[in-house]
Amino acid sequence: MTKQSSSFLHILGAGYGRTGTMSLRDALNILGYKTHHMEDTILDPTQDPKIFEDAYKNPNDIVDWEKAFRGYTAAVDWPAVAFFDKIYALNADAKVILTIRDPESWFKSVSSTIHEWPNVDESWPQNIVKARKMARVVVRDGELGGADTEKRKAALIQKFTDHIEHIKSIVKPENLLIFDLGKHGWEELCQFLGKDVPIDTPYPHSNKREDFPSRLLKIKELSVGLA
């Protein structure tokens, strides 16, 4: 069950992680939105990762999604996309951005980065410990089915492509932008949102696969003051 509420998110990202969701988050923030991303479950002290963890473990429970995203006007990436149908039902007028990429390329990216998370123990800031636990439940063991992705390559690629088709089938075409990683940028995004293209501001290219380990350590450094 899902708690009924008035629309509270203007933009919903429907793409799986590793499809340019962090770049999209940064782009939307430049355009004036406040955009929720997995990283915010670590860096935003108002966030409670356990809301998402419990919602995934108990899919029939009532969830206050407005509370989960309080202060945000957009949401992309996991954990939000794991609950897309429920969140979309409460924000049916939202603009939906479906980030996509070549399925094989997505599989390689998600398989490599899932193994590059450092070991997180109680010596780490508690906000990282809580977010890491949630990410393990929702993403690694939930959406991806475990750490050994190679054994399920065909099934994961099929799930990735099925998800794309599912989003296309439930979102009105006029409210859906299919945003292809590496091909699209400001022009397509701003036309869809009715925004002016930012002057002298390249479209962000954030969280590249090769930058992932160093980014995690940087997040740890930033998190020390938030724990």
* CA gap 168, 164 in Å, rounded: 6
Q: How far is CA 148 from the centre of its chain?
A: 21
pLDDT at 100: 98
Return the bridge partners of 178, or none: 98
Block residue for tokens 């599912």: 166
Number of C-alpha atoms within 13 angstroms, CB side, residue 26? 11
pLDDT at 128: 85
* Average pLDDT score, the chain: 89
| Phi/psi at 12 (5° precision) | -120, 125
Greater model confidence, 41 or 117: 41
Q: Which two tokens stand for residue 97?
A: 């951005």
* CA gap 105, 20 in Å, rounded: 12
* CA gap 145, 148 in Å, rounded: 8
Are 74 and 33 in contact by the 8 Å Cβ rule? The answer is yes
0.95 exceeded by pTM: no
Give the mean pLDDT of 63-91: 98
- Per cent of the chain over pLDDT 90 is 72
pLDDT tens digits for range 134-191 = 999 999 999 999 878 888 999 999 999 999 999 999 999 999 999 998 899 999 999 9
Q: Is it true that domain 11-212 has CATH number 3.10.20.30?
A: no
pLDDT at 38: 94
Return the bridge partners of 35, or none: 74
pLDDT grade for 126, boundaries at 50, 70 and 90 = confident
pLDDT at 219: 64
pLDDT tens digits for range 3-25 = 444 679 999 999 999 999 999 99
